[in-house]
Structure formats: C-alpha cells, structure tokens
Amino acid sequence: SGNMDGLFQVEGALYVSLFARLPPTRFSDVVASIALNRPGPLESGMVEDYIQVASGKTPAHYYDDRLRPILEETFGTMVYQEQIMQVSMAMSGFSAGKADKLRKAMGKKKIDVMRQLQADWNSGAVENGYALEIAEKIWDDAEKFAKYAFNKSHSAAYAILVMRTAYLKAHYPNDFMAAVLTSYMGNTDRLIRYIASCNHNGTPVLPPDINSSRAEFTPVDEGIRFGLVGVRGVGQNVADAIIAEREENGPFSSLHDFVNRVDAKAYNRKTLEALIKGGAFDSTGYTRKQMMHFIEETPLLEGAAKRQKDRDRGQVSMFDMFADDADSGFQEDVPAPDGVEWDKRTKLAYEKEIMGIYVSEHPLAPYEGTISRLSKFTMGDLSERTKEIRNAVFVGMVSNVVVKLTKRGTKMATFTLEDTTGSCECICFKYDENAQVIQEDVIAKVKGKFEVNDRGSQIMAFELEALELREEDARPRHLELSVPSRTFDQNRSARLSRILQSYPGRDAVVLMVQQADGRRFRAELPVSVDAQSPIMKAEIRDLFEQEVMIA
C-alpha cells in the first residue's frame, strides 16, 4: 500500500516510488532494491533500465544461457559485486581468490591490475567455450556496473530487517508504531512525521491518559497512547508513581481521586497542570477547563497536601477511615462535570505547549484537502528531499518568528512553516513587504525556493499571502482523475474500479473524461480511497499508460 513509514531502510520516498513501479514479489526483489536505491545507480540510469526489464517492457539479456543462473534473479543486470565474481569463476575459470581480487580492482579502479586480469578473463572464457566477443562485452558491462555494484551479503542482511519490520507493522501495527514513536521521543520533527503517518493510516495517536498510558508510547485497542514522560514536567519517577498506584488500586475516577491517592511528593502543581492541558485526565469525564478551575480556584491541592502530611506523621483522620464507606458521610464532595471546555484553538495551543506537538488534532487537519490543492508539497515531503525545488508554492502555519536586522540595516525574518506532516525552516529577506503575514499562527501560502545544503534544508520565501480558511474549506480531500475519452473503454473502467477498491480510505474520487471536441464530463464515483497512496497512483498511471492527470 506504500505505507512504509517506520520500516527499516526503505521508508524514504525513493523506495516508495521504486516499490510502486516495481512491487516486490519475492525476497530477492527486496535485496535488489536496497542495492539499487543509491545515488550512483539512480543517476546513471541503471535503475530505470532495471525497472524496464523487470517489468517485462524490455527483454532480459543473459549473454549466454550458461550464465543465466547467476543473473536471473536480477533480470540480467549485474547488481552485486558477488555476481561479477561468480561470472568470472563460471566463465573464465577464476579461483575465488582471483575473483575477489577482480572485485577489489574494479571497485577501487586499479587500472593496471584490471588490465592484467582482463587478459586472463578473455583467455579463460575462450578456453571454456565462450566467444571472445561475448567475453569482451561482459567485461565492458562488468566494468561499468562495478562503479555501482553493491555487496549482496550486506544488502541481504538489510533486507532481512526490512521484512521483519514490515511483518511487524502489517500484523501488529499499534505495537510496532508505538515502538517507532518511542524510539524518537525527544525528536519533535520525527514525532510529527510519524504521528501524521499513524493518523492517516488507521492507527490514531491519542493524547496521554492517566488510566491507560505507560511511561512511553503505549499500544491500545483503539490506537496508540502518548507516553506520560512525553508530557512536559512529567519525568520517569512521576510516571512510575502514577502507574504503580493505578495498577495496585485501579483506575482514577477524577482529579480529586488522583491527588488523594498518588503520593504528593511525586508531583507538583506544574505537573498536574501539564497533565490536564495535555489531555491526560480527559477519560475521567471532566473538561480540561473545569479541572484547571479546580487547581486554580479551589483548595484541592492544599487539602490533599495536608492529608498527605498527616498520613506521613501516622495521623489518620476520620475522613481517611470512613471515606470508602458510602454511608459514612465522610466522602469528599466532588463537583459533577459541567461540560464547559476551552475553544478548540486554546485547547490545541495548550496541547502543543505541553507536548511540543499537536496530538488530538492539528489545527490544519480539517483543511488538508484544500491545502493539497494549493501545494503539491507537504513539509514531511521536504524533510526527505535531497535536491532543491527552484520555484514552488508551500502552505502551512507560521510559528517561531524571529525578526533580525541585516548588515544593510533592513529587516529579515526566520520562521517555521508547519503542517500536519512536519515543519520546515524558512527565511525571508523581504520582511517589511510581508510583515502582516509573518506572524505567529497565520496560515500562509509561500512562494519561494527550497534549498538543501550542508547545514540542512530551508525555504527561501520570496512572497507570502495569508490564507483565510473558512468552514466551507474544511471539506474532505478528494482524488481527481482526468483522462482522455479515447483511453477510457469498458475494460479500463472495470480495472480502474478494482484498483480504487483495493485502496480504501476516507477520500472521494472524481473522474473527469475529456472528449476530443473539448467537452468534459464529470462524475463522482461511488468509492472512497486513500488519496495519498503512491502505489494506487502508480497503478492508475500504468492502466492509462501515463495518459492521466492525477490531482
């Protein structure tokens, strides 16, 4: 499905693209993909040639049927160093040691050694019944492939880990992605990326919860719970105290129940405020606003602290003695939930303040469909890119604004542009012209250039425009397909339907059929898909032989 985030080695966009075009059907395909997906093979065109042969568009060439067993798994292409060694042994009679000497000479471009070995290569091949022209052709190809050939044993070891992580993600998605998120605790950019991936792929990441979260990210039936130590001010010791009390005496029923049961020495007022604002008490049925009122406007904490001191001195009050007896009259008077909550923006702002990221919902989440139509790049996409984008439009929310003076005395600004998938640093030297847009929490459309250098990546912003996203803009994302009528027959219609049904999701599908006379017919198809799936898009492009526009 292209849902490869979190998998060892192959989660990058290049691998997703490669597997979309050439879906692996056997373990050796995964091994080959790791050897191929490197700058040399990609830039030389070797990968493109491999895809053409592997997909059956170009016939495979094995030089001689006797070499087929060596080259068959890579469709006649010498992908691995070991294959060059095996060919030299099978065709020219090289010993294993001599074949390894050839591998090293080709890899390190030792011309004098290669020339000496080339003579042995040709003479040995002729003695073994191979035509001289075939031996010379294979040598030329081997010399060319040697620049990019990869060690197969290394690639196979990586591929084993690819398959293990893929298996875990396919069969235990909540557990696996909880482990991935835990491994990146403290790395905000990675957390944002993987949380967005989880939410899009049916494994929602939920706010922390005092009754189900553990210290780290926790798999639960309904998704993944944010870990308690991910809340600002909640360290390992606090988390351990909460979990120990919960496991010994059952779930907490309210904030009042919590402060009376958990040792007051394990937390302070700031800790409770952080847990409340982060959503950790939501499961008790009280709103975050009401619980903050208990903290700020009632003697809740003072009373709990006094009872704790009394217990520490060995003084047990009648309250403690009879509080568990429903008829004693000594139960604490706990107000009922009033249902009054902060507005969504305030609630989410506190969430980000406490955990460094939006968890329950990103402010831009309702507008993902609209944003995807304004820009073809997400901030998560940019984090994976290694090449610049000269002129493009980027959309996101502005944060972390810093205004400085240049050496010329003019104002410039640095800021972060973020969306639901991640963030990217931006720089704008035309601050005065764009000052109204470069403000905290403004949703901006940025025209600029994406740059990558040794210091990292950034967007050079030339022009900014504030976007006023309204309620009607919060419509679902949809997949729009535009095809010429000459390519759209009954057979392709049926195959398109099967493809769309294979990638279920929440996004609508709109089909536009372009007639030869310029007329266009529009139909909303009765299916919902995952509009982000690169594999689905690749299959649709292959179906219409690339004569399709996908938006």
Name the 3-class secondary structure at 290.
helix
Give the global pTM: 0.78
CA distance 65 to 71: 10
pLDDT value of residue 200 = 80
User: Per-residue pLDDT for 318 more than 60?
Assistant: no
User: Per-residue pLDDT for 322 more than 60?
Assistant: no
Instruction: Please spell the DSSP secondary structure of 297-349, one letter per residue.
Output: HSSHHHHHHHHHHHHHTT---HHHHHTT-TTSS-S--PPPP------HHHHHH
Question: Are the beta carbons of 531 and 479 closer than 8 angstroms?
Answer: yes
User: Per-residue pLDDT for 158 more than 60?
Assistant: yes
Look at the block and give the residue holding tokens 């973020």. Answer: 418
Cα 374 to Cα 9, 392, 394, 445: the distances in Å are 31, 10, 8, 8
Confidence label for 324 from pLDDT (cuts 50, 70 and 90)? low
User: Per-residue pLDDT for 51 more than 80?
Assistant: yes
pLDDT value of residue 146 = 81
Confidence label for 276 from pLDDT (cuts 50, 70 and 90)? very high
User: Per-residue pLDDT for 105 more than 70?
Assistant: yes
pLDDT value of residue 317 = 55
pLDDT value of residue 476 = 61
Q: Which of 202-206, 225-229, 541-545 has the lowest mean pLDDT?
A: 541-545
User: Per-residue pLDDT for 323 more than 60?
Assistant: no
Q: Strands 411-419, 389-405: parallel, antiparallel or unpaired by DSSP?
A: antiparallel
Q: Which of 47-51, 100-104, 132-136, 325-329 has the lowest mean pLDDT?
A: 325-329
pLDDT value of residue 320 = 54
pLDDT tens digits, one per residue of 486-527: 888 888 888 898 888 888 777 888 888 888 887 888 888 888
| Strand ranges (E), 432-540 | 443-453, 456-466, 478-484, 504-514, 520-529
pLDDT: which is higher, 515 or 169: 169
AA letter at 22:
L
pLDDT tens digits, one per residue of 450-464: 999 887 899 999 999
CA distance 382 to 377: 7
What CATH number has the domain spanning 365-472? 2.40.50.140
* CATH domain 172-323+338-345 topology: DNA polymerase; domain 1 (1.10.150)
pLDDT tens digits, one per residue of 393-419: 999 999 999 999 999 999 999 999 999
pLDDT value of residue 331 = 53
Confidence label for 330 from pLDDT (cuts 50, 70 and 90)? very low
Mean pLDDT calculated for residue range 271-286: 95
CA distance 437 to 463: 10
pLDDT value of residue 455 = 78
Percent share of the chain, pLDDT over 90: 50
pLDDT value of residue 490 = 84
User: Per-residue pLDDT for 197 more than 90?
Assistant: no
Tell me which long-range contacts 431-434 makes (C-beta under 8 A, separation of at least 24): 431/403, 434/461, 434/463, 434/464
Crossing angle of helices 111-127/81-92, nearest 10°? Answer: 40
Mean residue pLDDT across the chain: 88
pLDDT tens digits, one per residue of 227-249: 999 999 899 999 999 999 999 99
Tokens of 49: 């040639």
Cα angle vertex 474, ends 471, 477, to 5°? 160
102-111, 129-138, 187-196, 354-363 — which one is most confidently predicted on average? Answer: 129-138
User: Per-residue pLDDT for 308 more than 80?
Assistant: no
Q: For the chain, what are the domain ranges?
A: 39-149, 172-323+338-345, 365-472, 476-550
